[in-house]
Structure 1
Amino acid sequence: MTYRSIAALDDDIVDCRACPRLVAWREEVARVKRAAFADQTYWGRPVPGFGPADARVLILGLAPAAHGGNRTGRMFTGDQSGDVLFRALYDAGLASRPTATSRDDGMELYGVRMTAPVHCAPPQNKPTVAERDRCAAWLDRELGLLAPTLRSVVVLGAFGWQSGLRAFADLGWAVDRPRPKFAHGASTVLTRDAQQLTLFASYHVSQHNTFTGRLTGPMLVDVLTAAAENAGILR
């Protein structure tokens, strides 16, 4: 199916039920809930991307968190990983607020959109390869719609790096051979016709990485700033 707008794409993503295991898990989590959020109504559906349709920078993660995006209905919103990311975006001058708590908290991203290769919360934060591949059509369509304005992609983690390279190659972008390896701070330039797109790699904002100091706020700000400068958002 061909989409004319990001809004129409997001509307259809929310209704997707293509992966039985993910549907069962996201809905079970929404029913059982975490004790701290027992009084809240969970989203419990696929989580669409967030940010302007004419973004020049895209942040590509992994999948929504069970009690984060799966609860709030917005990418990286309502969990500790998201707290780190939104703080870094704010510190880099790319977000209106340092914290994100809900879909109606007034958060705005400046020239930045965030999405994921998998739109449903997976058990143990680990989607299968088959689930990733089934969800790939949504990512391909979103990247196609963003392509006219997109100049930089910040990829969080090795899973997102591999998914991003595959998606861009499928969309006709020239990717170096052998394919660039993931490493924090790495970057690679993709080309298609006269257009260039630079991918920037960062460790994922998982609690394991942030609690152990493998990824710090300043490290993430540096990557986001480099991507924004490359896209012409920051000078």
Structure 2
Amino acid sequence: MERERGLAGLDERISGCRACPRLVGWREEVARTKRAAFEDWTYWGRPVPGFGPPDASLLVVGLAPAAHGGNRTGRMFTGDRSGDVLFAALHDVGLASQPTSVSADDGLTLHGVRVTSPVHCAPPANKPTPEERNTCRPWLVSELTLLRPTLRSVVVLGAFGWQAALPAFTEAGWTVPRPRPGFAHGTRVALESAEGQPLDLFGCFHVSQRNTFTGRLTPAMLRDVLSEAAVAAGLPTKS
């Protein structure tokens, strides 16, 4: 219960962050002008916190919210095609209650999994700057620290998330090997901990349209990584 209150408080603080002027201006401009297909929506237009249970044993780390996805709906990976791919795979593996994620009140629940990102505001052209990534890092460190008692594995989607997450793991108390492991799809790295409970880190191509439309990342490839990470986290999966 204490951890749940801690994550809820963290999510609330994240939602009120205005630390990066470029991102604040962009996310709010998108929320005002909208996309024609969503003209009847009231956009969230704020930083998007993580989503999932406070006792998650598996964490999925993305890049940043989409301008007309999470920035519109207020929930990570919700309302865009990248989210369609991710949640369909999580459902196929047995880690999500339904295969779609269209709005924050659509009834979706995750089973032992939390979804977050190293940058919580939608960036122009989906490209945060290194400075914006570093400014946002303390939020990820705090989230990892709160999840630490139950967290056993992490899937990082894409090279940007990988580079952003490794320093956060170090700050949250895990030991990242030296030299730092490079990103590759299917990579698996064990991060040691002073408490004796290691964390299994998995690399996976991002669920971006560029990757999924070209076949660089297929649904089967994504399911394989999620299944392996779920097993490492001690979660039951569909056979």
State if a TM-score over 0.5 links the two structures: yes
Give matches, 1:1-235, under 5 Å: 5-193=6-194, 194-234=196-236
Distance 1:192 1:166 in 2: 14
| 3-state DSSP of counterpart to 1:161 | helix
Runs (4 or more) in structure 1 with deviation over 6 Å come to none
Give the TM-score, by structure 2 length.
0.96
**Partner amino acid, structure 2, of 1:128:** T
- Structure 2, unmatched stretches of 5+, are none
Distance 2:95 2:171 in 1: 29
**Partner amino acid, structure 2, of 1:82:** G
Distance 2:9 2:232 in 1: 29
Shift of 1:176: 1.1
| 3-state DSSP of counterpart to 2:199 | strand
Shift of 1:158: 0.3
**Partner amino acid, structure 2, of 1:114:** V
Give the TM-score, by structure 1 length.
0.97
Give me the CA root mean square deviation: 1.0
**Deviation digits for residues 180-219 of structure 1 (CA, Å, limit 9, x no counterpart):** 1111000100011111000011000000000000001110
**Partner amino acid, structure 1, of 2:115:** M
CA contact (8 A) 2:142 2:172 kept: no
| 3-state DSSP of counterpart to 1:195 | coil
Distance 1:172 1:9 in 2: 19
Report how many aligned residue pairs link the two structures: 233
**Partner amino acid, structure 1, of 2:225:** V
Distance 2:31 2:170 in 1: 36
Distance 2:200 2:217 in 1: 21
Shift of 1:173: 1.3
Shift of 1:172: 2.7
**Partner amino acid, structure 1, of 2:102:** T
- Structure 1, unmatched stretches of 5+, are none
CA contact (8 A) 1:225 1:234 kept: no
- Quick one: percent identity of the two aligned structures? 68
